[in-house]
């Protein structure tokens, strides 16, 4: 039986796209996942996952609240890091 870290490692695209929420939030004066989560009405676990770059899916309403709060676009919150070696 695999644990959740195995699932994250196997998720297609995970290595190519990286969340930048923590960096952008810190630039805007937020110091913790809890502080950010309270501001956009996310539960503690979801806020921690987003803050630490582990979120695999985010609904558009939450993304919109995050962008409104941080005065940014979705593109500011994601970084494309390219294909892994050995990929097509």
pLDDT (tens digit, 9 = 90+) per residue, 41-78?
A: 999 999 999 999 999 999 999 999 999 999 999 999 99
Which residues fall within 8 angstroms of residue 36, CB to CB, at 6 or more apart? 21, 25, 30, 42, 47, 50, 51, 69
Domain boundaries, the chain: 14-76
Alpha carbons 45 and 86: distance in angstroms, whole number: 34
Domain 14-76 homologous superfamily, CATH: lambda repressor-like DNA-binding domains (1.10.260.40)
* Global pTM value: 0.77
Q: Which of 10, 2, 1, 14 is nearest to 55 (CA)?
A: 14
φ, ψ at 18 (rounded to 5°): -125, 135
For position 32, what pLDDT does the model report?
98
């Amino acid at each position: 039986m695999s644990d959740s870290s195995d699932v994250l490692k196997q998720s297609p695209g995970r290595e190519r796209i990286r969340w930048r929420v923590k960096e952008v939030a810190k630039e805007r004066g937020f110091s913790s996942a809890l502080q950010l989560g309270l501001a956009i009405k996310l539960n503690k676990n979801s806020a921690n996952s987003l803050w630490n770059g582990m979120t695999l899916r985010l609904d558009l309403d939450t993304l919109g609240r995050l962008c409104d709060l941080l005065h940014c676009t979705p593109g500011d919150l994601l970084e494309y890091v390219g294909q892994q070696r050995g990929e097509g």
